[in-house]
Structure 1
């Protein structure tokens, strides 16, 4: 299920999302002594990242990670890790802990196994906050409809938190949290901007085939609540 909130401007959306997320993180810290948030890459969240980085939160008790990452060098322009460090882990948020999805050079089965073990050892799951994006093909995180790994990625009984994805319609090998891990998140937001994304969203809501458009796994789930924030 989902709710849609539309904003007049992207700045209005950024401020509202920042308020919601900072309130959730602060409440989680007060309750559990810690909080975790998974964010997505791209240009859309930059304004939100900047606004959130300036909020008064006990950032040293927050762990930040990505819903997915391209397996590229951290200084690459294609790196979401670089994006987060340059735009979110700044100002007051500089003291937050970052859980790296891309660790090492070779993307081997051993590396993937170690990362899956680390998600358990660090206790970052379930996320207190998950911020998703959506591609023009309806993918979210790196759950691409074109990939051979899509069934594994969307399997509700997948015990692994992370998987390797090789999309055929986008560059780079990817590491992505699985739907089974992401769907445990206590608060899920879908952050969208632009008329094109509104059209894709409307297409996603017209059908329930999650393999055609993986974002539907979050939008059409009977119990999972996804809060959609959209601005032109």
Structure 2
């Protein structure tokens, strides 16, 4: 299931999303003593990251992580970890915790095993999940072009998986659909006319292996909130 929320500008979208996410995180901390949020990379969320970083939240009880990451050095411009540290873990959010899903030089079976164990005790299930969407309908690093797409979409998958896309650079690590879908609150944050066209294509069919974002939009009980601005 999905709900589409359209905004007149990206600034208004960023503020609305910030207010909604802040309220959820505060409520989670009050209820459980902690909260977790998984975010995505790209240029689209930068304004949201900055706005959220300036919110007066119980950041010491909040853990931030990534829905997926390229297996590159965290100083590389392609690193989502670098993006989050430069744009979200700033200002008042300097006190937040960060769960690294890119650890070490090689993405080995042993590294994955350790990360899966740590994720289960640290961030899962997410209180908030912010997804993006590519022109091919991929989300996180659930790529339709990858050999791992069926296992990544399986409800029996481990929390974190290695993915090697055929049409995009870099080896990836990603949370699987099964664990992304367990988030208490899921948002799809997209901007621009081209992404709206991709969204409309995704809504017109249900084949998740062709467009993995459909797994969230057409889920029978997962309520995905789509936030879009031109």
Describe the SS at the equivalent of 2:110: helix
Specify the alignment match of 2:136 in structure 1: 137
Specify the alignment match of 1:163 in structure 2: 161
Deviations 1:179-202 (A, max 9, x none): 000000000000000000000000
> Unaligned stretches of 5+ in structure 1?
none
Residues 188-199 of structure 1 correspond to what in structure 2 (within 5 A)? 188-199=186-197
CA shift for structure 1 position 157: 2.2
Deviations 1:141-194 (A, max 9, x none): 000000000001000122x10000000000000000000000000000000000
Measured on the aligned residues, the alpha-carbon RMSD in Å equals: 0.5
Residues 62-141 of structure 1 correspond to what in structure 2 (within 5 A)? 62-122=62-122, 124-141=123-140
TM-score normalised by structure 2 residue count: 0.99
Describe the SS at the equivalent of 1:4: strand
Distance across 2 between alignment mates of 1:134 and 1:26? 27
Distance across 2 between alignment mates of 1:204 and 1:93? 34
Distance across 2 between alignment mates of 1:46 and 1:131? 12
The runs of at least 4 consecutive aligned structure 1 residues that moved more than 2 Å come to none
Describe the SS at the equivalent of 1:203: helix
Distance across 2 between alignment mates of 1:69 and 1:57? 26
Please say if 1:173 is aligned against 2:175. no
Describe the SS at the equivalent of 1:64: strand
Deviations 1:25-60 (A, max 9, x none): 000001110000000000000000000000010000
Distance across 2 between alignment mates of 1:134 and 1:79? 17
Distance across 1 between alignment mates of 2:19 and 2:121? 30
Specify the alignment match of 2:13 in structure 1: 13
